[in-house]
């Protein structure tokens, strides 16, 4: 059976820009309903887009959008976003844990405040948003939880350099795989998705490597296309997996990835962390 995201409702943390917005726009092309829970109510001086401009783009792409201004760290905001999604669209079919904070500092340079922020947004936010949506997901015909987080890799080269960030991202993955195990019998899929190469995002440009790393990165559309394939899969058949973007595409016969990095030699692409 061929599935689409037509009339399916996605509850997403973040999504004002970057990978989250790209996934939302891909779903909107099918006529999906997108509920964004994000803080960016007004323009940021260093970051493009707000929750409102994202909603406008989603509608222009063919979807329906609901902008819920709030913080995934705030339990009341999470509950409000879930309630708003159900009230506006009649339920929730997909939870997309997209919101994330990155700080690649070593333990001695990472402030307690920044550590707490990463754990609260990444790990706790993933757990609480997914948890709050479970009752609605259990009523969906094909429910999915998808977290943009890496496979658990215990190689010391990923454990040592940025312990705080590694804990936060692995926490997202552990929570997601936990939901897969807890709700396997009820048919709720929960998977993680991570790229082999860096993606052109504000984090890559502003934090990791500037314009040179952006040039050596793929566009967010590669993440969006892979996420679409995951979210349209049978929830009972694809769950509990730590998926890699390029592998998902290859499994569906998509091996020519040049369009995601036009003019860039594949050998020059920069590998992402955790793989």
DSSP 26-69: HHHTTT-EEEEEES-SS--SSS---HHHHHHHHHHTT-EEEEEE
Burial class (CB in 10 A: 0-12, 13-18, 19+), 69: middle
- 9 near 39, Cβ under 8 Å? no
* Active-site annotation holds for 165: yes
Q: In sequence order, which ranges of 122-273 are alpha helices (DSSP H)?
A: 125-137, 156-159, 163-182, 202-203, 210-215, 221-231, 245-251
Token pair belonging to 56 = 């406008």
- 21 near 57, Cβ under 8 Å? yes
Distance of CA 41 to the CA centre of its chain: 20
- Which of 115, 165, 228, 260 is the catalytic position? 165
- Work out whether the CA dihedral 140, 176, 270, 15 comes out positive or negative: positive
Print the SS3 string covering 237-265: CCCCCEEEHHHHHHHCCCCCCHHHCCCCC
For residue 218, give the nearest of 150, 256, 148, 270 by alpha carbon.
Answer: 270
CA distance 27 to 148: 16
Active-site positions? 165
């Amino acid at each position: 059976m061929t599935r689409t995201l037509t009339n399916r409702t996605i509850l997403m943390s973040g999504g004002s820009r970057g990978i989250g917005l790209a996934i939302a726009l891909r779903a909107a092309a099918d006529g999906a309903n997108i509920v964004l829970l994000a803080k960016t109510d007004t323009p940021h001086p260093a970051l493009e887009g707000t929750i409102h401009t994202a909603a406008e783009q989603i509608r222009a792409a063919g979807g329906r959008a609901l902008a819920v201004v709030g913080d995934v760290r705030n339990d009341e905001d999470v509950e409000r976003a879930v309630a708003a999604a159900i009230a506006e669209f009649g339920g929730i079919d997909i939870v997309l844990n997209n919101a994330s904070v990155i700080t690649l500092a070593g333990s001695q340079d990472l402030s307690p405040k920044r550590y707490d922020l990463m754990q609260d947004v990444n790990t706790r936010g993933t757990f609480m948003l997914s948890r709050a949506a479970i009752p609605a997901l259990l009523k969906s015909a094909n429910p999915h939880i998808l977290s943009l987080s890496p496979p658990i890799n215990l190689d010391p080269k990923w454990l040592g350099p940025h312990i705080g960030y590694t804990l936060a991202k692995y926490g997202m993955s552990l929570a997601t795989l936990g939901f897969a195990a807890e709700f396997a019998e009820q048919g709720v899929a929960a998977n993680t998705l991570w790229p082999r190469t860096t993606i052109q995002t504000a984090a890559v440009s502003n934090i990791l490597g500037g314009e040179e790393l952006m040039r050596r990165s793929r566009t967010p559309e590669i993440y969006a296309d892979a996420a679409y394939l995951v979210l349209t899969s049978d929830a009972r058949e694809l769950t509990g997996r730590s998926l890699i973007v390029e592998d998902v595409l290859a499994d569906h016969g998509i091996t020519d990835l040049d369009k995601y990095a036009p003019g860039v030699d594949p050998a020059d692409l920069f590998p992402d962390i955790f793989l």
